[in-house]
Structure 1
Amino acid sequence: MVFVCDEELETLQLSCMTNICFDDEAQNYIPTTLMSINANLWLGHFIFRKDDNGNGQLVFRHTMSLRSTSVQSGHDCLKSLIDTAIQECDRFYPLFNLVQTKDVSNPAKLNLALSDCHGIS
């Protein structure tokens, strides 16, 4: 996780990198996948980033305003930011895994991976 604070805008941005790498073929499926995911996210968004070697990585980004934030509420905001990033990365891990393995030909699998699960297993 990387945090960037912008004092002028009074914001804090969190970037949480996933541990899944995508080869060139799998990267072809990323734009459509991210459009499907980001269209339904209320907090934050996923981006795709390539490093200097051409390896692709998904990153969850979320920016939060720190205006009128006390030290205690700032601590709570930071905890919330981290919790949200972990939750969203975990939530879409099955879908990212399908894209990584290029197992995207079955729409039912993709819809299931995009679905929110509720309850206790």
Structure 2
Amino acid sequence: MLDEAQFDRDAEAAPIDMLESYFNAHGWTHAREEDEIVARVKGSWVEYELRAIWREDDSVLQFLAFPDIRVTEDRRASVYEAIGLINEQLWIGHFELWSSSGIVLFRHAAMIENADGGTLTLPQTELLVESAIDECERFYPVFQFVLWGGKSPSEALASALIDTQGEA
């Protein structure tokens, strides 16, 4: 969680402006265009690409996280099944497999409309970004078990969601 005292932004801002400030506060590498921002974030398993696209006409912010997983044609049926099982576990957002490229991603869209137009608060920004990263971190092993570990999607999900106790 970000310390608001170190955050150099008003309480609310245009979505891409708020995300840019949030990425700056974390020291994450990012590139911005008018209605889009892309950041790179190191996770426990891989480096994630985070991408946000603001559609002002619809008041929708689409947020995508790419966990650097590519699926070959012969493994797609198993990964689609795994995605179905994973998505049953999620409250916000969902995983997808892009059929044209075989890329797995996490996607969440938020409708952002209020009296000031489309603005985003720091707590909303944290929820959007951190939930995407958390879900990618939590379910990355499922995809690896299916793609490389020879497990069925249900076995992979069960293996990845084992609660550990204590600390190493």
Q: TM-score, normalised by structure 1?
A: 0.79
* Matches of 2:95 and 2:80, distance apart in 1: 10
Give runs of aligned pairs for residues 70-85 of structure 1, distance below 5 A. Answer: 73-85=120-132
Preserved contact between residue 20 and residue 100 of structure 1 (Cα < 8 Å): no
Closer, same or farther: CA 66–76 of 1 in aligned 2, 3 Å: same
Alignment-derived partner of residue 97 in structure 1: 144
Report deviation, 1:40. 1.8
Q: Does 1:30 align with 2:85?
A: no
Q: Which runs of 5+ in 1 are unaligned?
A: none
* Matches of 2:145 and 2:60, distance apart in 1: 34
1:65 to 89, 105, 111: 111
Can you list the C-alpha shifts for 1:50-87, whole angstroms capped at 9, x where unaligned? Answer: 44xxx411110011121228798533322321111100
Closer, same or farther: CA 22–102 of 1 in aligned 2, 3 Å: farther
Alignment-derived partner of residue 15 in structure 2: none
Between structure 1 and structure 2, the one with the greater Rg is 2
Alignment-derived partner of residue 63 in structure 2: 14
State the secondary structure of the residue aligned to 2:106: strand
RMSD over aligned CA atoms reads: 2.7
Structure 1, 9-18 or 63-72: larger mean CA deviation:
63-72
Preserved contact between residue 82 and residue 154 of structure 2 (Cα < 8 Å): no
State the secondary structure of the residue aligned to 1:68: coil
**How many percent identity over aligned positions?**
25
Report deviation, 1:101. 0.9
* Number of equivalenced pairs: 117
Greater relative CO, 1 or 2 (CA 8 Å, sep 6+): 1
State the secondary structure of the residue aligned to 1:21: coil
Alignment-derived partner of residue 5 in structure 2: none
